[in-house]
């Protein structure tokens, strides 16, 4: 078990459309991989981590989200493998960040409610309807699997400011 290094903005793997997972093939290594991803995500206080953020080309992401709205609620782990959107509705604009662009927070539009279908960590096909933080996390992580980043959704008028901010932040990343 180990904390992996999180790939930062500028690495080409963050712009790659990732390969579908063959669950049977991955299954033997999956528990250890998920353990590493969870530890890595926790270590940097992230809500989610996609496979390419630790350098792996596979359509898999992990989300760590509070079980309830209660303060200090335990975190629940949701693993999404080969996810697909079934439905997206509504729009909300909120600030978002990403472990691959640490320190940058930008307002981006997202659907308020989504239904997605995916394989869970046991290889079962499940369908989940989500709102709030979980809906946002699903959209953010599914973007990663297609090589997209949250800043791609920012208002074009914000792009010069984002570029400037990234130039300032980059030297602080390791």
| Sites of contact with Co ion (CB under 5 A) | 98
Q: How far is the C-alpha of 77 from the C-alpha of 36, rounded, in Å?
A: 13
Q: Beta-carbon neighbour count of residue 149 at 10 Å?
A: 19
Residue 82 or 139: the one with the smaller Cβ distance to Co ion is 139
Helix, strand and coil percent figures for the chain, each rounded to 5: 35, 30, 35
Q: Which residues, including other chains, have CB under 8 Å from residue 84's CB and lie 6 or more apart?
A: 116, 117, 118
d(CA 11, CA 98): 14
12 or 28: CB nearest Co ion: 12
C-beta of 50 vs 119, nearer to Co ion: 50
- Minimum Å gap between C-beta 100 and Co ion is 6
Q: At its nearest, how many Å lie between Co ion and the CB of residue 95? A: 13
40 phi, psi to nearest 5 deg: -65, -45
- The minimum distance between CB 165 and Co ion, in angstroms, equals 16
141 as an active site residue: the answer is yes
Please provide residue 155's backbone torsions phi and psi, each rounded to the nearest 5 degrees: -55, 130
Q: Active-site residue among 24, 124, 141, 165?
A: 141
Lookup: tokens for 106? 């930008």
Nearest CB to Co ion, comparing residues 27 and 44: 44
Question: Least separation, in Å, of the C-beta of 70 and Co ion?
Answer: 26
Measured from each CB, the residue nearest to Co ion is: 98
- What sections of the chain are H helices per DSSP? 23-26, 30-43, 132-145, 159-169
Residues annotated as catalytic are: 141
């Amino acid at each position: 078990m180990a904390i992996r290094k999180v790939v930062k903005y500028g690495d080409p793997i963050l712009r790659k459309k990732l390969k579908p997972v063959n669950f049977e093939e991955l299954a033997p290594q999956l528990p250890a991989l998920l353990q590493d991803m969870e530890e890595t995500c926790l270590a940097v206080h992230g809500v989610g981590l996609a496979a390419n953020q630790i350098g792996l080309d596979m359509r898999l992401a992990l989300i760590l989200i509070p079980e309830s709205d209660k303060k200090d609620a335990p975190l629940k782990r949701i693993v999404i493998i080969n996810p697909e959107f079934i439905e997206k509705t509504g729009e909300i604009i909120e600030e978002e960040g990403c472990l691959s662009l640490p320190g940058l927070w930008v307002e981006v539009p997202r659907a308020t409610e989504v239904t997605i279908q995916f394989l869970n960590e046991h290889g079962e096909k499940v369908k989940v309807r989500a709102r709030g933080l979980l809906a946002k996390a699903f959209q953010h992580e599914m973007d990663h699997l297609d090589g997209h980043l949250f800043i791609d959704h920012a208002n074009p008028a914000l792009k010069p400011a984002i570029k400037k901010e990234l130039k300032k932040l980059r030297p602080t990343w390791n």
